Amino acid sequence: FDLISKYHIDVEALYLINEKSRLERLWAGDKLLLPSPVKKNASVPQNKAIPDVKKYLKYKVKNGDSFYQLSRRFNIPLSELETLNPHSILLSGTVLKIPQNLLENSLLRTPLNAPEVSLDLNLPGIHYLPATQENITAPQAGTVSGIRHIKGYGRAIFIQNKNITVILASKGFDSLLISYGSKVRAGTPLGVIRKNFHLHLFVLRDGDFIAPQSFMSINLH
């Protein structure tokens, strides 16, 4: 057709929007539907990129660390950790980017302000060392499912929320404001810890210890 070259249209598109019988026998004065021509160099709309809303924390590498150990400690896939941190060799002092996972669509809250924060060497957990007497608050909402002694860590508070259990333990608890079965919200006061006594924080998911630092907005040193 002269129409195809004149209007720069595709023959298949022409057949698609007009009855085939009409195209096979055209008479002067017949009206056809024409598809909009595609302009040369016309910009094609692209899908907007979804912004990366995932949160990250910074971790400073220590002697003996490996990508495999860190992936287990922070409960993230090894491939994801290596992709985020393209370091062939981990040197002490290197700062890594660690993705934070979401617990019930929210991060755990820090239970107290402390100038010293460190990792537990035996279990995946966090140590806080307050410089003064401090109030302890609940890192997550839930039910107090237990208050008992843990050997080596002191008195412990267990807060259960579905399959997630947060444990706060210390030898320096001065008083507790909750009891077994208490319902708490994130930020609810739990008790008081004396200065210079460590507060230990652990997280279990389905009964297995996981790294709480991957759920909290903190920088470990």
Instruction: Please report which residue ranges of the chain form alpha helices under DSSP H.
Output: 2-7, 11-17, 20-24, 67-74, 78-84
pLDDT in tens, 32-54: 666 554 444 444 344 444 334 45
My answer on whether 128 and 203 are in the same domain is: yes
Residue 91 pLDDT > 90: no
Per-residue pLDDT, 219: 47
Say if residue 32 is in the same domain as residue 62. no
Domain limit, last residue, from 48, 65, 99? 99
C-beta separation of 91 from 168 below 8 A = no
Task: Kindly state whether residues 131 and 199 are assigned to the same domain.
Answer: yes
Instruction: Tell me, yes or no, whether 83 lies in a domain.
Output: yes
Mean pLDDT for 118-144 is 84
- Predicted confidence at residue 136, as pLDDT, reads 93
- The two tokens of residue 24 are 């096979």
Is residue 26 included in any domain, yes or no?
yes
User: Could you tell me if residue 109 is inside a domain?
Assistant: no
**Cβ atoms of 76 and 101 closer than 8 Å:** yes
User: Does pLDDT of 180 surpass 50?
Assistant: yes
Answer yes or no: is 27 within a domain.
yes
Question: Is 49 part of a structural domain of the chain?
Answer: no
Q: What is the CATH number of the domain that holds 160?
A: 2.70.70.10
Nearest to 142, CA basis, from 109, 112, 115: 109
The 10s digit of each residue's pLDDT in 139-176 is 989 999 999 998 888 999 999 998 889 999 999 998 89
Is the same domain home to 95 and 25? no
Q: Mean per-residue pLDDT for 86-104?
A: 73
Could you list the beta-strand ranges (E) of the chain: 56-60, 95-99, 116-119, 125-129, 134-137, 142-150, 154-161, 164-170, 173-176, 183-184, 189-193, 199-205, 208-210
Q: Tell whether pTM > 0.85.
A: no
When comparing pLDDT for 5 and 97, which is higher? 97
Q: Could you tell me if residue 45 is inside a domain?
A: no
Q: What does the alpha-carbon distance between residue 180 and residue 141 come to, in Å, rounded to a whole number?
A: 15
| pLDDT for 42 | 43
Residue 179's pLDDT band (cuts 50, 70, 90):
very high
Domain at 74, CATH number: 3.10.350.10
- Indicate if 120 and 184 belong to the same structural domain: yes
* 51 occurs within a structural domain: no
Please indicate, yes or no, if residue 47 is contained in any of the structural domains.
no
Structural domain boundaries enclosing 21: 1-40
pLDDT computed for residue 154 by the predictor: 92
CA distances from 32 to 10, 14, 15, 28, 38 (A): 14, 9, 10, 11, 18
Domain count, the chain: 3
What are the two backbone dihedrals, phi and then psi, of residue 169, each rounded to the nearest 5 degrees? -130, 145
